[in-house]
Amino acid sequence: MDPVRLLCDISELNWIFSGSDTIDAFLGRVVHMVANHMEAQVCSIYMHDDASGDLVLRATFGLSADAVGKVRLARGEGLTGLSVEEGRPVNEPHASRHPSYRFFDGTDEEKYDAFLAVPISRGIYRIGALTIQRSASQPFRDQDRAVMQAISSQLANIIENARLLQLKGAAGSPGGPSTPEPARAVAREGSDLVAPIIKGRGVSGGTAHGKVLILDKARLFERYGPNRQYPPFAPKDLTLAVGATEAQLRTLQHRVERKLSDAASLIFSAHLLMLKDSNFTGRMLDLVAGGVNPPEAVMTVGREYAGFFTEQGNPYLREKADDVRDLVIRIMANLLPEVASHEYRGRVAVAADLYPSDILMLSAEEVAGIILIAGGAASHMSILARSLKIPLIIADVPALLQIEDGTVALLDADHGTIFVNPSQATIEQFEKAARDRETVAGHSAPMTPRTSTADGVRVALYSNINLLSDTVTLKSLVYDGIGLYRTEFPFLVRSTFPTEEEQYAIYVKLIDNVSPGTDITFRSLDIGGDKVLPYYGDLHEKNPFLGIRSIRFSLQNRDLFKEQIRAILRAGSGSKISILFPMISSKEELTASRLVVAECIDELSVKRIPHNDEPRIGVMIEIPSVLEIMDDLMDFADFFSIGSNDFIQYMLAVDRTNERVAAMYCAHHPAVLRGIRRIVAAASAAGREVSVCGEMAHAPRYLPFLIGVGIRALSVDPQFLPLIQAAIATIDSRQAGELAGRMLEASTQDEVEWLMDGV
């Protein structure tokens, strides 16, 4: 078995799609590939049938082909059913001796007694199972189980989409034209709805100039209404349009993988599978063969599918309607050359809200910039956009969603300004400014090997890592280590939880991508609040910022927590690593988290798996309760990191993603500044390093205060490293100390601002 090669193949499933004409052909190639790599005589995929509740054999390599579609297992029946029912792998060296064993005559499986099944699930939803079998003389090992879990995780989204298409196929479709889904009222007003100049907040810098594209799939879909007239097309035109759409989607997926630089799930898998579904594109071709004009055939089937998913009670199924609309619009764009409404490249995308996976898609589509109507300046969306180098402005102007596609917009994300239908003079001015910035950047002084103040005080300057692609930027920069690797992004951009093996592969890549001997701090999973996992329904809370966030989620999901910690420890074997726990609010949470690390070290030691058995343990300070127990934490933490974004939010009870209270979110509030001083004083007295990360760390105006109160370590995103090093070099630490003292004595924000501005 070659597990490394197998994981690479599974994460690059485009080649399987390109060679598969149907879903069944795709599943057939998957079981063949898995059997080959796992050195198994049998590999099978079972899928859940919503109508009967049974598990149905959908593809197999090694068993009789006649068994496909016929072998069915009731809920919990057999070892495969047991694996799905209990949500765990089942590994039996002698399957026939297990009380749950179920034999099916005619499958020829009696020769293969070594059996391993892993459930295929999407978050909390059971989808099916992946099984492998071989002779009893070759039982499966723990390593086989781990690799199979990684495979099932990668396949989960694809197979779930295949299952949903099967569900729609079973529902059938009318023989004649479909009843269109209820039309939504769409405003058609022009750009006169908004002012020519709009002030927002630039959260990912840069400028963009292009035509607006409103990201509302229902609105785009409705442009091809049932009453629209199309010129006649030949049947081959539809075949060519479908083929072109598939090629475009595979290209986009490759771009996403390159940008993310890890084993991401196939973001475009739902679209690719629909293109191979006989009930989707196959029905379009049947309609065309019956004399229906290709554009009308595409829209007829598209309306059937979108309407079907829209009517479902499950919110996740309703979301599939957008996948249908998106794919239909892509096909129509390839069928009708004059249609450019779905062209993203060079456009300014406007959206009410986005998921992290949407940002990745837009990056792959090469959008020029993004205007987001909702969200906070310090949210994960802005962090991701900065890593992908997409200018992003957040503007609380809902009317922007109603302007016509094609309206010209110019974004100055450095200053948070949006120009709607800008004059030619304005465009030329910004083009010149962009050229000037490039010239200045090309002649800027390189970073020095050591970061220090004007009077020689050493300041450690660490880099944050959001995506592994950030390490490419680091190669030309100077930094003292990785102060914060945000492990949540591999969770946020997937459609289900990454397995231990997937996380291990990502963490190994991170360590390999930086210089040998680099200190790397892994922050454990930080989700909840504005960082919602779409596939985990339990995180949808009424007050998410005060709910199951960060370490609370990890401690309540210990199996997931331990998978992550084991992956970090394994990847860190022979390297200098630290583990940072977010949102710690009590000594109990810290000791419980440390216990998980100790348990993982013991488990890896017993199994003789190479790992790091002495990671430094850190606490991220974000919750005010920690201020009163700092001394109690000193014996249990090796270092501290002030997460300024959440620290400010919780100190001031201000939701940083709520536009209505955004003005109250203030980093220089006296309570925030005094809280930071108390943290630094307690950590310094105990000889513990304390750093600052978040927006405050890369804002030059706050550096004199931070250095003045004793902060000697900062962690910022790579693009801010040169700026912050240069700013630190201008600061005299003694003068900064005096300024910080005066700021701490101030009782109002206005007084503090007056002091910072040197008025």
pLDDT of the residue at 578 = 98
Q: Do 562 and 599 touch, CB atoms closer than 8 A?
A: yes
Measured CA to CA in angstroms, residue 229 lies from 10, 225, 233, 294, 299 at distances of 43, 9, 12, 12, 12
Composition of the chain by helix, strand, coil, percent to 5: 50, 15, 35
Domain boundaries, the chain: 3-171, 224-340, 460-756
Catalytic choice (37, 209, 271, 380): 380
Judged by phi (left if over 0) then psi (alpha if -120 to 50, else beta), residue 694 lies in left
Section 68-75 average pLDDT: 89
Measured CA to CA in angstroms, residue 50 lies from 75, 165, 168, 591, 600 at distances of 11, 12, 11, 44, 38
**7: pLDDT strictly greater than 60:** no
Q: 81: pLDDT confidence band, cut at 50, 70 and 90?
A: very high
DSSP conformation letters of 228-251? -------HHHHHHHHHHHHHHHHH
What's the Rg (C-alpha) of the chain? 28
Q: Which residues contact 558 (CB under 8 A, 6 or more apart)?
A: 596
The helix/strand/coil state of 544 is helix
Section 372-384 average pLDDT: 68
Matching CATH number, 3-171, of 1.10.10.10, 3.40.718.10, 3.10.105.10, 3.30.450.40: 3.30.450.40
The helix/strand/coil state of 372 is strand
Matching CATH number, 460-756, of 3.20.20.60, 3.60.150.10, 3.50.50.60, 3.10.129.10: 3.20.20.60
Provide the greatest CA pair distance for the chain: 88
pLDDT of the residue at 600 = 97
Section 526-553 average pLDDT: 75
Say how far residue 299 (Cα) sits from the centre of its chain.
31
Helices (H), 39-141: 78-86
Q: What is the pLDDT of residues 643-672, one digit of tens each?
A: 999 999 999 999 877 777 878 999 999 999
Tell me, yes or no, if 43 is annotated catalytic. no
Catalytic choice (48, 611, 693, 698): 693
Tell me, yes or no, if 600 is annotated catalytic. no
Burial environment of residue 748 by CB neighbours within 10 A (0 to 12, 13 to 18, 19 or more): exposed
pLDDT of the residue at 12 = 45
Residue type, 300: T
Residue type, 339: V
599-605-606-609 Cα dihedral, nearest 10 degrees: 120
pLDDT of the residue at 173 = 53
Cα–Cα nearest to 156, from 276, 273, 53, 8: 273
**230: pLDDT strictly greater than 70:** yes
Phi, psi (deg, nearest 5) at residue 641? -135, 125
Cα–Cα nearest to 391, from 215, 200, 204: 204
**167: pLDDT strictly greater than 70:** no
Q: How far apart are CA 715 and CA 462, in angstroms?
A: 4
Q: What token pair was written down for 187?
A: 């405003």
Matching CATH number, 224-340, of 1.10.274.10, 1.10.600.10, 1.20.1090.10, 1.10.1140.10: 1.10.274.10
pLDDT of the residue at 377 = 47
Q: What is the pLDDT of residues 576-623, one digit of tens each?
A: 999 999 999 999 999 999 999 999 999 999 989 999 999 999 999 999
Q: How far apart are CA 518 and CA 520, in angstroms?
A: 6
Q: How far apart are CA 53 and CA 74, in angstroms?
A: 7
Average pLDDT, the chain: 84
Cα–Cα nearest to 526, from 708, 390, 383, 701: 383
**1: pLDDT strictly greater than 70:** no
Confirm whether 3-171 and 460-756 share one CATH topology: no
